[in-house]
Amino acid sequence: MAKNSRYCVQFRRRREGKTNYKSRKALVLSGKPRLVTRITLKNVIAQIITAKPYGDEVLVSAHSRELTKTYGWKASRKNLPAAYLTGLLCGLKAKSKGIKEAILDIGLYSPSKGAKVFAVLKGVLDAGIDVPYGEEKLPDEKRIKGEHIAQYAQSLSSNPEQYPIKFSQYLKQKIPPESLSEHFAKIKAEIITAFKKGGKKK
């Protein structure tokens, strides 16, 4: 409801908390493709998008479901290691299409240190895409590899009540959470090898 004669109703997506138009304008005016990262309840999505007069155009897209379907990832599709691998996959796809740089667009996420959106960024950087960033925001390498999850699992291994509850999905997929770091390294190597051969794993 209008408060006075000068009151201006905000754009619908701004009212719904979906778009910060001031930030979006700055990103679009940069002239660079945007690395758009979104975290859902079950997955991680990374896209490289460019703004066009008729709307945004997706140049490259990577989804954490691809890690499971194509590369054999058995752990959670929304944890920190999965976020990194999704970013790596997105970056390698972008590189194969000749995209060399982008600018990070995290939407309305709060840019907290070590967040999953920055794990995605780290994956894109490691793929060879140039994206401006602050070193202090990136997650620790050990956390990217899932060592914090493995250590937590090890600390709970002597608790027969809590362990199967906390790690039910891992056990369902027949992957001990204590070996997550090794599983991460294997999947990372498979993704890199697939693109060295010229594209997605068959």
Q: Which domains does the chain have, with CATH numbers?
A: 17-196 (3.30.420.100)
For the chain, residues with pLDDT lower than 50 are 202
Separation of alpha carbons 113 and 115, rounded Å: 6
Provide the 3-class DSSP secondary structure of residue 157: coil
DSSP letter, residue 33: P
How far is CA 184 from its chain centroid? 15
Q: Measure the CA–CA gap between 160 and 165, rounded to whole angstroms.
A: 9
Q: What is the DSSP string of 53-120?
A: TTEEEEEEEEEHHHHHHHH---S-SSSHHHHHHHHHHHHHHHHHTT--B-EEE-TT----TT-HHHHH
pLDDT value, residue 89: 98
Q: Which residues of 38-66 are buried (b: 16+ CB within 10 A; e: fewer)?
A: bbeeebbbbbbbebeeeeeeebbbbbbeb
- The 3-class secondary structure across 139-151, one letter per residue, is CCHHHHCCHHHHH
Structure tokens at 27: 């990103």
The model carries a pTM of 0.86
Please identify which residue in the block is written with the tokens 């599983």: 183
Q: Residue 146: is it exposed, middle or buried by C-beta count within 10 angstroms (0-12/13-18/19+)?
A: buried
Rounded CA-CA distance 165/168 in Å is 5
pLDDT confidence of residue 162: 93
**Residues above pLDDT 70, as percent of the chain:** 83
Confidence at residue 201, expressed as pLDDT on a 0 to 100 scale: 53
Give the tens place of pLDDT for each residue, 181-200.
999 999 999 999 999 877 55
DSSP bridge pairs for 58? 49
Q: Give the pLDDT of residue 202.
A: 45
Cβ(131)–Cβ(121) below 8 Å: yes
Helix (H, G, I), strand (E, B) or coil at 9: coil
